[in-house]
Amino acid sequence: MSLSAVRAALSDLKNCQTDIGTGMDIVTDMAMDLAESQKAQGDPGIKAMEDIILECAKLDREINCFSHIVERVTSEVGREPPEAMFSLSARVKEQFAEKMASLSDTELENHNKVVAFKDSVANTLNQAKPGTVEDMEELDEDIAVTQSQVNFSCPLTQIEMVNPMRNKVCNHYYDEEAILGLIQTRHKQKKKCRCPVVGCGNTDVKQSDLILDQMLRRRIRNQKRDGNRM
Ligand SMILES: [Zn+2]
């Protein structure tokens, strides 16, 4: 196996991982629909979807670990004599098995999309107060109006957010890619990341404080869709 073949396979795997992420967003959307109509905690359908999300999170984590190990081992092999290439596959297998054995399923609860799923379902259930269907529709419209007054644009990119993340500490929203990039840049400079929202006193934005807001994501997307339809 050549190094370029390894790189091509890794890139295929990354694409696969993106698809898993998209699939998880779709399942979360479906769970929110169900939560809106069922208004019941512990719905078997929602539970089944939670299981799917956990399975996907597990797969996502495995791909992360695997890619990481392959990258590390290939760079090691690159520094060794050419015949070291023959041990590549065995070394990856061994290290991957070791890593997998050290992981627990409980850690999956911290996966960002698992957190987002639970958060979104819980929020939907809280919002879906019992009432007639008409009431529900009115409520939905009310929320839509309130939400459209909320700024959908990211304070960093100034454009409409695609994957809004809420900061648990100061309740500000940012687009995922932009805020994670900023945190990474600041931390590389050994500096704290200040909340980019003007006037916010939060001087240390951490990745662990951020939750993907699937409900808002959906609202932005629906608004865009409705806007296109008009
Ligand atoms: Zn803030």
pLDDT computed for residue 133 by the predictor? 47
Task: Determine the distance separating the centroid of ligand 1 and the alpha carbon of 208, expressed in angstroms.
Answer: 14
pTM: 0.69
Q: What's residue 180's pLDDT?
A: 95
How many whole angstroms from 211 Cα to the centroid of ligand 1? 13
CA–CA gap between residue 115 and residue 7 (Å, rounded): 31
What's the pLDDT at 140? 54
Residue 124: predicted pLDDT: 84
Nearest to 9 by CA among 101, 17, 56, 85: 17
Of the candidates 220, 125, 222, 108, the residue with the CA atom closest to the CA atom of residue 165 = 220
**Beta bridge pairs of residue 173:** 166
CB 114 within 8 Å of CB 54? yes
For residue 165, the SS3 value is: strand
Give the distance (Å) from ligand 1 centre to CA of residue 170: 5
65 CA distance to ligand 1 middle (Å): 32
Q: Give me the numbers of helices (H) and strands (E) for the chain, helices first please.
A: 7, 3
Q: Which residues surround ligand 1, an ion (CB under 5 A)?
A: 170, 172, 195, 197, 200, 202
**Burial class of residue 120 in the structure, from the number of CB atoms within 10 Å of its CB (0-12 exposed, 13-18 middle, 19+ buried):** buried
Predicted pLDDT of residue 26: 92
Greatest C-alpha distance within the chain: 73
Distance CA 189, CA 54 (A): 35
Question: Class for domain 129-229, per CATH?
Answer: alpha beta
How many whole angstroms separate alpha carbon 187 and alpha carbon 171? 21
Q: Encoding tokens for residue 3? A: 């190094």
pLDDT, tens digit (0-9, with 9 covering 90-100), for 202-222: 999 999 999 999 889 988 888
Q: So where are the chain's domains?
A: 3-116, 129-229
Residues 6+ apart with CB under 8 A from 10: 67, 70, 71
User: For the CA atoms of 198, 202, 205, 210, what is the dihedral angle to 10 degrees?
Assistant: -90
- Residues of the chain with pLDDT below 50 are 131-136, 138, 142, 145, 147-149
Instruction: Render pLDDT for 109-150 as a digit per residue (tens, 0 to 9).
Output: 999 999 999 998 888 888 765 544 444 454 555 455 454 445
First to last CA, the chain: 54
